Amino acid sequence: MANLTEGIADEVRINIKERILAMLENRVRELRARFRMSQSDLAEKVGITRQTVGLIEKGDYSPSVVLALKLAKVFGTTVEEVFWLRDQSGEKGEGND
């Protein structure tokens, strides 16, 4: 029983740590370059503004699931190929492995 409680506590601690340290990384800029698109081109295809493309590329703004799906669709790939979590130690986290 004590082991189970400790196990749950550890898991909660890890989840909280992950939530604090995890950062959303993306390769929108890289993919945009590969597809030879300007920010304006991509914005037009997805139906957003150029400013929002810039915000996402800089990592200032984490897009909604809907927008992430739309971006992935434009690049003909999956969301995990475009966005992934990275912790502050610099190690790549979930997705895109």
Partner 1 sequence: MIRQIVRSPLTVMFILAVFMGLLGLGAAAPEFFEEYDRIILTVTAVIGVGFFLLVMIHNRRHPSSKISMATWTPYEFKEEDEGLKWITLQACRKVYMFYYYAIPAAALVIFFFGDRRFVPFAALFLMGAIQYFIFWREERKYSRGQDVDEDEEF
- Taking the C-alpha atoms of residue 55 and residue 81, their distance in angstroms, rounded to an integer, is 19
- Taking the C-alpha atoms of residue 36 and residue 10, their distance in angstroms, rounded to an integer, is 46
Cβ atoms of 26 and 56 within 8 Å: the answer is: yes
Q: What is the smallest separation between the CB atom of 17 and partner 1, expressed in angstroms?
A: 26
Q: What is the smallest separation between the CB atom of 41 and partner 1, expressed in angstroms?
A: 9
Under rule CB under 8 A, which residues in 22-61 are in contact with partner 1? 32-34, 36-40, 47-56, 58, 60-61
**Comparing C-alpha atoms, which of 25, 18, 34, 33 is closest to residue 81?**
25
Residue 63 makes contact with partner 1 by CB under 8 A = yes
Binding residues for partner 1, total number by CB under 8 A: 24
Give the footprint of partner 1 on this chain (CB under 8 A).
32-34, 36-40, 47-56, 58, 60-61, 63-64, 67
